[in-house]
């Protein structure tokens, strides 16, 4: 008798935890396949420290092949799910297509940057959802500081060392906090014009920083940011973005070459193409994480609207903590459907949150207990070390070296502005030219359709799959003239790029 085939789509917090738990529960009694665009699990909470030069990029990546025994990783992006035929269609990094049949399916594709209809944002802002975006921001900040130090024009110098971060949730707050420390350290080694210092702005329409957290922790984070020199503007956002700066909703124009978009996330567009009922872009599932009417299909993480049993009528938010625990429950229920153990509903117990503000500063409430400043820093870093499924020694070693040695401010130029557009369904991948793409098929049971190009009609790429060629005047288009920082590298020629449906969802994983 053949072994049951389990396919997991996505190796984020939910997908990785599902695969690891299933590997332990099934004990090689099932064929487990994990489909993911990269060969690693990305620990997103430490991404701001990569952008700030504290951690090397590989420290926040955990390889799939070395940490998931009994699981077969497959490199590729799902671009269609046939629920009736029980198959997943995907495209690998070199443009080849493939099909994965399944007996049980777990959809855990995660989320992408949330877009808002604000003029100029898609063209001039960059998100912070993947490793390429963090590497781009790290290089971009260093480049702007070096150009500012060499500028003869005081206005140009001030604009280049002004960095605008939109979104005062976990990610935006950490990016601004770490960024101010990073640029201040650069100025000590390479001074700017007299009277000019790096300026980081943190904007949000919310009334306070970290609105998801306890008010005492919010006040702690706000105080640390302001003492450090961050310009915190609550109740304010961006009205329009241009190459020369941003127009704020209060009417002020801020000259700047940097706009970091951290306003939240929305489910991956693949979720909508499945053709099942949605709640604000997320697949509706029952408390056992099963899709109603499809007992062989499970969904978890940011892709799923999971009922909150402690708050009837509401759903669990899109956070990494929920996604990690979704994965464990999904794995147990998949195993139970195969006769291993008993299924159980998802019920969350809040373990608290931590926000690393750089240096020895942090805001933390483990188990709901707010901690004062001196204790919050070690607790925040200890929490991350305990939560990471690998690389703990390497991360701790980088933290130790950062405490005793100056950071290296070197721009490698590996990720260009046009390769990390804000409007992308693949923030985990830098866009590269030269490879064919596949469209995300729409509707239940949809198959994958390849595009064939003729000399007069360029191929129409999928929704930002790897290898896509950005169109002119589109996000990721010509960076030399219209992108912040004036990067000289030209992207490949124009092709049509279909838009991605925007189903905003609250929260920030």
Is residue 336 within a helix (H) or strand (E), and if so which, with residue range?
A: helix 320-337
d(CA 436, CA 453): 10
111 touches 428 (CB < 8 A): no
**Cα first-last separation, the chain:** 41
List % helix, strand, coil for the chain (3-state, nearest 5): 30, 20, 50
In this structure, the strands spanning 282-284 and 304-305 are parallel
300 touches 108 (CB < 8 A): yes
Q: What is the pTM of this model?
A: 0.85
The pLDDT profile of the chain, 509 residues, written as one tens digit per residue, is: 589 999 999 999 999 999 999 999 998 899 999 999 999 999 999 999 999 999 999 999 999 998 999 999 999 999 999 999 999 999 999 999 999 999 999 999 999 999 899 999 999 999 999 999 999 999 999 999 999 999 888 899 999 999 999 999 999 999 999 999 999 999 988 888 877 889 999 999 999 999 988 888 899 999 999 999 999 999 999 999 999 999 999 999 999 999 999 998 999 999 999 999 999 999 999 999 999 999 999 999 999 999 999 889 999 999 999 999 999 999 999 999 999 999 999 998 877 888 999 988 999 888 778 887 778 999 999 999 999 999 999 999 999 999 999 988 888 888 999 999 998 888 999 988 754 444 555 444 443 333 333 333 333 333 334 333 333 334 333 344 444 444 544 454 443 333 333 333 333 44
Query: What's residue 349's pLDDT?
Result: 80
Range list of β-strands (E), 300-412: 304-305, 354-356, 362-364
Query: What's residue 369's pLDDT?
Result: 83
Q: What angle do CA 504, 508, 509 make, to 5 degrees?
A: 120
Query: What's residue 444's pLDDT?
Result: 45
Encoding tokens for residue 386? 């305990």
Residue position matching structure tokens 């590997």: 23
Query: What's residue 464's pLDDT?
Result: 39
Query: What's residue 360's pLDDT?
Result: 87
Which phi and psi angles does 505 have, rounded to 5°?
-135, 145
d(CA 410, CA 477): 25
Query: What's residue 344's pLDDT?
Result: 96
């Amino acid at each position: 008798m053949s072994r049951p085939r389990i396919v997991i789509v996505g190796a984020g917090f939910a997908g990785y935890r599902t695969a690891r738990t299933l590997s332990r529960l099934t004990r090689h009694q099932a064929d487990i396949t994990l489909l993911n665009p990269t060969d690693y699990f990305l620990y997103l909470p430490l991404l701001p420290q990569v952008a700030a030069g504290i951690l090397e990029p590989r420290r926040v990546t955990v390889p799939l092949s070395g940490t998931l025994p009994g699981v077969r990783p497959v490199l590729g992006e799902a671009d269609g799910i046939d629920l009736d035929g029980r198959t997943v269609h995907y495209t690998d990094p070199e443009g080849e297509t493939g099909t994965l049949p399944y007996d049980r399916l777990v959809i855990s594709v995660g989320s992408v940057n949330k877009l808002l209809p604000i003029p100029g944002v898609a063209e001039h802002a960059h998100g912070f959802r993947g490793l390429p975006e963090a590497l781009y921001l790290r290089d971009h900040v260093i480049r702007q500081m070096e150009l500012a130090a060499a500028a003869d024009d005081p206005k140009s110098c001030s604009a280049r060392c002004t960095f605008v971060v939109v979104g005062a949730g976990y990610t935006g707050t950490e990016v601004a906090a770490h960024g101010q420390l990073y640029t201040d350290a650069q100025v000590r080694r390479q001074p700017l014009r007299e009277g000019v210092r790096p300026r980081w702005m943190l904007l949000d329409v919310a009334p306070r920083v970290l609105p998801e957290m306890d008010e005492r922790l919010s006040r702690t984070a706000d105080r640390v940011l302001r003492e450090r020199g961050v310009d915190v503007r609550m109740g304010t956002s961006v009205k329009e973005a241009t190459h020369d700066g941003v127009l704020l909703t209060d009417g002020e124009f801020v000259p700047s070459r940097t706009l970091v978009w951290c306003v939240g996330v929305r489910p991956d567009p693949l979720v909508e193409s499945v053709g099942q009922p949605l709640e604000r872009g997320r697949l509706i599932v029952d408390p056992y994480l099963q899709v109603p009417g499809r007992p062989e299909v499970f969904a978890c993480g940011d892709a799923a609207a999971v009922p909150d049993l402690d708050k009837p009528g509401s759903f669990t938010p899109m956070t990494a903590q929920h996604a990690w625990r979704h994965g464990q429950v999904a794995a147990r229920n998949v195993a139970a459907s195969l006769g291993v153990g008993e299924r159980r509903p998802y019920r969350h117990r809040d373990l608290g949150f931590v926000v690393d503000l750089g240096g020895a500063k942090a805001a933390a409430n483990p188990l709901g207990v707010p901690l004062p400043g001196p204790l919050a820093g070690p607790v925040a870093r200890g929490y991350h070390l305990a939560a990471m499924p690998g690389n703990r020694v390497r991360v701790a070693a980088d933290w130790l070296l950062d405490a005793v040695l100056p950071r290296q401010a070197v721009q490698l130029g590996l990720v260009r502005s046009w390769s990390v557009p804000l409007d992308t369904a693949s923030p985990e991948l830098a866009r590269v030219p030269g490879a064919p793409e596949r469209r995300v098929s729409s509707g239940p049971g949809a198959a994958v359709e390849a595009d064939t190009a003729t000399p007069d009609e360029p191929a129409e790429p999928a929704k930002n799959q790897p290898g896509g060629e950005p169109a002119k005047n589109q996000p990721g288009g010509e960076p030399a003239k219209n992108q912040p920082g004036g990067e000289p590298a030209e992207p490949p020629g124009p092709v049509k790029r279909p838009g991605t449906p925007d189903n905003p969802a609250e929260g920030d994983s």
